[in-house]
Amino acid sequence: KDEASGTPFAEMIATKQDPEENVPELIRRDMGRTFPRQPYFQTVEGKRALFHVLNAYAVHDPEVGYCQGMNFVAGILLLYLDPELAFRALECLMSRVGLRTVFMP
């Protein structure tokens, strides 16, 4: 579960975004630019994991949503952690370490 909202990770990755915000399309556009020479991100599994982590974060924190550059932070985390733990680590970096201020609109 997401500690802040109490929402399970699986539920967040299944949540549809507001079509006006176009978040899934923005994420997909940046996925091909995320460590293009890293074999993991050339696989369906790697692409899916990256999309799920970024989409879940956008659902978790709609004020920030998704911003360019978050894909690289999430990508590094996914090289070492499974998607749910990568999401939790991203959330921690954003809220507790202060990375959120970098991505605020």
Q: pTM for the complete prediction? A: 0.85
Residue 1 inside a domain? The answer is no
Residue 3 inside a domain? The answer is no
Which pLDDT belongs to residue 6? 61
Tracing tokens 């699986």 back to the chain, one arrives at 10
User: Residue 96: which CATH number?
Assistant: 1.10.8.270
**In order along the chain (105 residues), what is the average pLDDT of each group of 10 residues?**
61 68 91 95 97 94 95 98 97 96 92
Residue 4 inside a domain? The answer is no
**Pair of tokens at residue 46:** 């790697």
> Which residue range is the domain that position 87 belongs to?
9-103
Number of structural domains (the chain) is 1
